[in-house]
Structure 1
């Protein structure tokens, strides 16, 4: 089953689905600044656009471009800034 998710006043939208490898979301973020919390380990891959991310326990923001990915452990918070519409694939473990 595919589920439709919307967050931050509809500025972040995703489609959630499950494969034999696990669950994932495919989404798009409008320009803005967001704080996310994790319940599972996440691998976030930027498909198009760019994310500037403040990872947990980091003091400096890191930039991730299309084709690049970063990982977040379960039960963490992280911040994301996007300046143009940006698409992503997030896989959960």
Structure 2
């Protein structure tokens, strides 16, 4: 069962290609395009909550055994949040910079 689930990441796309669903066809789908603003707003709200948790205004007391007590854990959390913000910004502005590459 584990082997079947592990290979599903390769089998499902192969099955879709045999049915004629290629990357070019999937790229032309625009059914969710009218909702892009709502998805962006939801993403910014989630990022805002993430920044509020990662960068508190005052120092929060942590228990000794908690994950927030270790500086490496806090540094990794902040780094991942910043990388996620850069990726979100890149994906939301792709209409502006993507034509520069073709």
More strand by share: 1
TM-score above 0.5, yes or no: no
Q: Which TM class, normalised by the smaller chain length?
A: under 0.3
Which one has a bigger Cα radius of gyration?
A: 2
What TM-score do you get using the length of structure 2 for normalisation?
0.19
TM-score normalised to the size of structure 1? 0.20
